[in-house]
Amino acid sequence: MVSEDELRRRWEKTVERLFREGIIKSEAVRRAFLKYPRYLFVQRRYWDYAHVDEPLPIPAGQTISAPHMVAIMLELAELKPGMKVLEVGTGSGWNASLIAELVKTDVYTIERIPELVEFARRNLERAGVESVHVIPGDGTKGFPPKAPYDRIIVTAGAPKVPEPLVEQLKPGGKLIIPVGSYHLWQDLLEVVKLPDGSIKTKNHGGVAFVPLIGEHGWRG
């Protein structure tokens, strides 16, 4: 079994490479990555691979995203302290921990799979993250009790942009979401809600995510 010191050393090399390559652009995202290494959010049998820049399995047939993909989405979101953020698709809890470190306040994250709700909560507790609230439910409906949000980040691929998520954005708010086919290929969209309620969409290219299942996503 690899020591925690060795896991951290490997992880630091991965973070520095992403920074050098310009994938991690900001010091804030770099610091968040160093504070919450990915190995804290995978099962022990995958610790050896947590520094490798590719997706890894987590329970219930889902995945934890590759580090470069998480970095790209966080940089696009331009998170600042005090922002109210909703994440759709908690998975392992890793992305939510990074968001919480960037916004320095409560983060709300929705997960439809009960096994992953518990997995994420355990991981977050072990990592010492107290400001992330994992909510069981259909993330395609958003989370109205805490709306409106400055940012909504979706970590699964949708057939189209779910209307409830746009409705729950503040004017000037931003939604980061993969949209496209059920498996293998989507476009990473940055959706900005303008002051008049209309939206402006920018396409940041091809990505591959598990499908977003729900009333306003794919049917399970």
What is the tens place of the pLDDT at every residue in 66-125?
999 999 999 999 999 999 999 999 999 999 999 999 999 999 999 999 999 999 999 999
Q: Which amino acid is at 89?
A: G
pLDDT at 66: 97
Mean pLDDT of 10-27: 98
Residue-range domain boundaries for the chain = 4-207
Burial of 148 (0-12, 13-18, 19+ CB in 10 A): middle
- Among 26, 65, 92, 198, which one carries the catalytic annotation? 65
Q: In the Cβ-directed half-sphere of 21, how many Cα atoms lie within 13 Å?
A: 12
Q: How far apart are CA 110 and CA 22, in angstroms?
A: 30
**26 carries an active-site annotation:** no
Q: Is the pTM of this model over 0.85?
A: yes
Percent of the residues in the chain that have a pLDDT greater than 90, as a whole number: 96
- Using one digit for the tens of pLDDT, what is the confidence trace for 180-192? 998 779 999 999 9
On the question of pLDDT at 1 being above 80, the answer is: no
Q: How far apart are CA 217 and CA 201, in angstroms?
A: 18
141 close to 69: Cβ distance less than 8 angstroms: no
Instruction: Give residue for tokens 């050896």.
Output: 48
Q: Which of 68-72, 111-115, 150-154, 208-212 has the lowest mean pLDDT?
A: 208-212
* Percent composition of the chain: helix, strand, coil (DSSP 3-state, to 5): 35, 25, 35
Q: Is CATH 3.40.50.150 correct for 4-207?
A: yes
